């Protein structure tokens, strides 16, 4: 199936950048992005199944801009705490 979309310039730029980070053509990235929006069936029951699903969807390792995942998680936690207390 073929679809033609008129994207706002900023959205097109963001999608193209993400595709580039993943070394994918824009069309392939958009298909992958949309495919990942489906809820897996059956429901995932534990962390191992979630990781396996993420690997199957090609999501593991897609954030090459995050050098230290643990530090990134700490930063996100600090930001959330400031939001909740501020």
CA 15/CA 29 separation, integer angstroms: 8
Residue range 1-9: average pLDDT? 88
Q: Is the pLDDT of residue 84 over 80?
A: no
pLDDT digits (tens, 9 = 90+) for 37-61: 765 566 888 989 988 888 888 888 8
- In 3D space, the residue among 28, 36, 30, 31 whose CA is nearest the CA of residue 15 turns out to be 30
**Per-domain residue ranges of the chain:** 9-85
CA 60/CA 76 separation, integer angstroms: 19
pLDDT at 86: 57
DSSP 57: T
Report CA-CA distances (Å) from 19 to 25, 27, 62, 71: 6, 9, 10, 25
């Amino acid at each position: 199936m073929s679809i033609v979309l008129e994207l706002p310039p900023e959205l097109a730029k963001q999608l193209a950048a993400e595709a580039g980070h993943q070394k994918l053509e824009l069309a392939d990235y958009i298909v992958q992005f949309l495919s990942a929006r489906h809820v897996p069936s059956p429901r995932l029951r534990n962390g191992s199944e979630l990781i396996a699903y993420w690997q199957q969807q090609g999501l593991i390792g897609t954030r090459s801009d995050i050098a230290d995942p643990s530090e990134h998680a700490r930063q996100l936690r600090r930001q959330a705490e400031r939001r909740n207390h501020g």
